């Protein structure tokens, strides 16, 4: 969802640009919520290879999407004046 807002912030209708910012922030909140669930459940997994992969993947997603959400928020805010 956050990746979609990258296109929408430049190509979307300026009358609803705040919705793009809301979408990015909602996506970021959803990802962070999912990460909490991953982190609480991973210690119980017996397959340590899978568990380590899950932790690595969620960390990478948080890093990428956190930066994107911050960028979209800043760009939307700038368009709002």
Could you tell me the pTM of the whole model? 0.85
> For residue 10, what pLDDT band results from cuts at 50, 70 and 90?
confident
Query: What would the two tokens of residue 48 be?
Result: 């340590």
Give me the mean pLDDT over the 63-78 stretch.
95
Closest CA relative to residue 3, chosen from 27, 31, 22: 27
Q: Where are the domains of the chain?
A: 2-80
Of 11 and 47, the one with more pLDDT: 47
Matching residue, tokens 């990428």: 64
> For residue 12, what pLDDT band results from cuts at 50, 70 and 90?
confident
């Amino acid at each position: 969802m956050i990746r979609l807002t990258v296109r929408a912030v430049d190509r979307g209708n300026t009358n609803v640009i705040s919705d793009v910012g809301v979408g990015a922030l909602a996506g970021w909140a959803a990802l962070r919520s999912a990460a909490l669930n991953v982190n609480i459940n991973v210690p119980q997994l017996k397959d340590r290879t899978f568990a380590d992969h899950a932790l690595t993947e969620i960390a990478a997603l948080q890093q990428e999407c956190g930066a994107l959400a911050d960028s979209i928020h800043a760009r939307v805010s700038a368009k709002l004046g």
